């Protein structure tokens, strides 16, 4: 009996991915409770030896051309079927439909994944639109979690991705995201400080509360020389503002589509999202 065989039995029997520490603890517990020579001999295995045995086990599966393989996920090691066998595996669950995120939700998820932890205001500064609805969808699907509050006035909530996000997309860490290092160097729009927002709101209220000119003064206004009154500055249109605030979006759109599973077409630009937990993997 070898260490790779014992690890194969542990991973096969476990209902969830096993970490290296969990497998090592199980091996040591078996050595303490079992009097067989094999169990006591393997109880002295180190963490490095377990990792080496896992590598050998994975190579053995690859060389034997099995329908499954050994992968290390964010939550531990697991046996998964190969992608080419997906049609047959899906036939076991005909009622399950592939779950897809909407385009806005996927873009928002990409921003969080690359810039976590991030506040909702900063996400809206990048996208140029409110993200209340899509944020709730991501929270409900356990793809995003609240990690704390930012150390700025107002103490806004900070959002980050979950272990389920990494597990679903087959990542061990966010460093494996497509173009992670390049996108991290891009300067993105930031939400204005709360003081600046409050000052703008006060200015808008003061303008609304200012008294109107009397009729006599209004009638005299057209007689003033054009040079005495500067023309009002043009207010940018909503479309123009949207184009400026979303100048960096193509980078995240490309990264977001990179998170889609292979051979799956991009989702429609709607806010409807199906149940993410029913997708066969």
The answer to whether residue 55 is domain-embedded is yes
In a domain, 213, yes or no: no
Residue 227 lies in a domain: no
The span from the CA of 158 to the CA of 167, in Å, is 21
Q: Are 59 and 115 contained in the same domain?
A: no
Domain identity same for 251 and 161 = yes
Residues 34 and 83 in one domain: yes
Considering the domain architecture, whether residues 167 and 114 belong to the same structural domain is answered as: yes
What domain range is 150 assigned to? 103-190+243-276
* Residue that finishes a domain, picked among 90, 114, 137: 90
Count Cβ atoms within 10 A of the Cβ of residue 208 and give its class: 0-12 exposed, 13-18 middle, 19 or more buried. Answer: exposed
**Which pLDDT belongs to residue 179?**
79
pLDDT at 204: 56
pTM check: above 0.85: no
pLDDT at position 207 = 57
Q: What is the pLDDT of residue 280?
A: 41
Of the candidates 90, 120, 139, which is a domain's last residue?
A: 90
Tell me if 110 sits within 8 A of 255, measured CB to CB.
yes
The confidence score (pLDDT) of residue 171 equals: 85
Q: Which residues of the chain have pLDDT under 70?
A: 96, 98, 194-281
29 and 161 in a single domain? The answer is no
Rg, Å, the chain Cα set: 28
Residue 197 pLDDT: 57
Question: What is the domain count for the chain?
Answer: 2
**Do 159 and 260 lie in a common domain?**
yes
- Looking at residue 133, which CATH number applies to its domain? 1.10.10.10
């Amino acid at each position: 009996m070898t260490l790779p065989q014992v690890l194969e039995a542990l991973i096969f029997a476990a209902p969830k991915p096993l970490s290296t520490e969990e497998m090592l603890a199980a091996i040591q517990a078996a050595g303490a409770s079992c009097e067989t020579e094999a169990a006591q001999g393997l109880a002295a295995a180190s963490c490095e030896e377990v990792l080496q045995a896992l590598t050998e086990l994975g190579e053995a599966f690859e060389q034997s051309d099995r329908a499954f393989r050994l992968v290390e996920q964010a939550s531990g090691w697991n046996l998964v079927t190969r992608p080419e066998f997906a049609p047959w595996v899906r036939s076991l669950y005909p009622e399950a439909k592939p779950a897809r995120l909407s385009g806005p939700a996927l873009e928002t998820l990409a921003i969080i994944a690359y810039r976590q932890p991030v506040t909702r205001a900063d996400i809206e500064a990048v996208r140029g639109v409110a993200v209340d609805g899509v944020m709730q969808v991501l929270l409900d699907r356990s793809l995003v979690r609240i990690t704390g509050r930012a150390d700025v006035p107002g103490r806004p909530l900070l959002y980050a991705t979950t272990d389920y996000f990494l597990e679903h997309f087959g990542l061990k860490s966010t460093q494996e995201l497509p173009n992670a290092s390049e996108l991290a160097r891009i300067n993105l729009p930031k939400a204005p400080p709360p003081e600046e927002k409050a000052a703008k709101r006060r200015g808008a209220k003061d303008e609304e509360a200012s008294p109107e000119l009397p009729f006599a003064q209004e009638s005299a206004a057209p007689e003033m020389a054009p040079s005495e009154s500067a023309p009002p500055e043009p207010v940018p249109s909503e479309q123009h503002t949207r184009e400026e605030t979303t100048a960096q979006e193509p980078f995240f759109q490309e990264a977001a589509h990179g998170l889609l599973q292979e051979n799956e077409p991009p989702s429609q630009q709607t806010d409807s999202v199906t149940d993410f937990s029913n997708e066969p993997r």
